[in-house]
């Protein structure tokens, strides 16, 4: 490995994300299902008002990194909900962190959630909403679980310039149809803006979104521990169109 544990931690500590700096890089890498869910969660919490005791749905939490982060940093209760990862597996990780009184693992499909209407103060989703939320109807079906004035915030892989159904030449070797779910903040703003149940408060991109994404993946690759093979090559070929979008809205 090119880096010692300490060097790796230093290399992947960004001034932009001071709360994330406390979390062990190898632990994040072991449990992430996309690039650094902890950075994404910290980016989102800059625009979402979370207070101790609030009830938060973390939808598409994967292995629960963001749920653990939110509970630890803000003292909120988190319903860590995911489809591909089972509740028992996530419960083990939550127990290891000693926060089983704050984070509750749920195995469920985003299209068939087992919650009461009006239950949550906030709904968040990190690097997951694009898998199930790219049509008009989905937001309407999800928003029922929020209290009036509750907040919904997502961070999703995004593009500065829309693909508009065309695969760019430079990305052809790496292309998967799934990449058409990557949209600009304006695209999301328009989608959510059509809803009469929410007011969009924020639709922007992460400062240095592309650079951070590349830095994370490249450094893990250099360290010999990157699990998502092919990601660095695709990002390099992309040259800076990919980024992260953050969309935040309030229920009316």
Which residues contribute to the site for ligand SAM (CB under 6 A)? 32-34, 37, 60-62, 65-66, 82-85, 109-111, 126-128, 131-132
User: Least separation, in Å, of the C-beta of 47 and ligand SAM?
Assistant: 18
Between 31 and 199, CB nearer to ligand SAM: 31
Give the helix ranges, DSSP H, for 33-78: 37-45, 65-74
Q: What is the DSSP string of 74-102?
A: H--EEEEEESSS-HHHHHHHHHHTT-TTT
- Smallest separation, CB 60 to ligand SAM (Å): 3
Q: For residues 32 and 204, which CB has a smaller minimum distance to ligand SAM in the complex?
A: 32
Between residues 199 and 228, which has the closer beta carbon with respect to ligand SAM? Answer: 228
Least CB distance from residue 157 to ligand SAM, whole Å?
A: 9
Provide the H-helix boundaries in 158-223: 185-193, 209-222
Closer CB to ligand SAM, 61 or 191, in the complex: 61
Sheet of 77-82, strands arranged across: 103-107, 77-82, 55-59, 120-126, 146-159, 242-251, 198-205
* Distance of closest approach, residue 169 Cβ to ligand SAM, in angstroms: 26
Rounded to 5 degrees, φ, ψ at 133 are -115, 25
CB of 176 to ligand SAM, least distance (A): 13
Q: Which is nearer to ligand SAM, 33 or 248 (CB)?
A: 33
Considering the complex, state which of residue 6 and residue 23 has its C-beta at the smaller distance from ligand SAM: 23
Query: Of 251, 153, 129, 133, whose CA–CA distance to 202 is shortest?
Result: 153
We find the least distance from the C-beta atom of residue 199 to ligand SAM, in angstroms, to be 25
Using Cβ positions, the residue closest to ligand SAM within the complex turns out to be 62
Task: Measure the CA–CA gap between 128 and 96, rounded to whole angstroms.
Answer: 24
Counting every residue, how long is the chain?
252
Q: Could you tell me the sign of the dihedral formed by the alpha carbons of 162, 245, 16, 20, in that order?
A: negative
């Amino acid at each position: 490995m090119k880096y010692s544990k300490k060097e790796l931690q230093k290399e992947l500590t960004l001034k932009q994300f001071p709360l994330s700096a406390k979390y062990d890089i190898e632990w994040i890498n072991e449990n992430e299902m996309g690039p650094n869910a902890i950075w994404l969660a910290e980016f989102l919490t800059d625009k979402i008002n979370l207070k101790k005791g609030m009830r938060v749905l973390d939808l598409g939490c994967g292995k629960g990194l963001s749920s653990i982060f939110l509970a630890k940093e803000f003292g909120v209760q988190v319903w860590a909900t995911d489809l591909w990862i089972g509740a028992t597996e996530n419960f083990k990780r939550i127990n290891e962190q000693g926060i089983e009184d704050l984070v509750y693992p749920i195995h469920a499909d985003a299209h068939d959630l087992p919650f009461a209407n009006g239950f949550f103060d906030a709904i968040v989703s990190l690097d997951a909403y694009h898998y199930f939320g790219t049509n008009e109807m989905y937001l309407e079906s999800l928003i029922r679980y929020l209290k009036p004035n509750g907040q919904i915030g997502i961070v999703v892989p995004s593009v500065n310039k829309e693909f508009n159904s065309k695969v760019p030449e430079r990305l052809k070797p790496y292309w998967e149809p799934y990449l058409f779910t990557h949209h600009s903040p304006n695209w999301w703003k328009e989608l959510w803006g059509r809803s009469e149940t929410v007011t969009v408060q924020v639709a922007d991109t992460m400062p240095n979104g592309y650079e951070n994404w590349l830095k994370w993946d490249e450094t893990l690759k250099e360290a010999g521990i990157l699990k998502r093979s092919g990601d660095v090559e695709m990002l390099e070929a992309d040259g800076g169109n990919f980024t992260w979008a953050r969309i935040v809205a309030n229920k009316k």
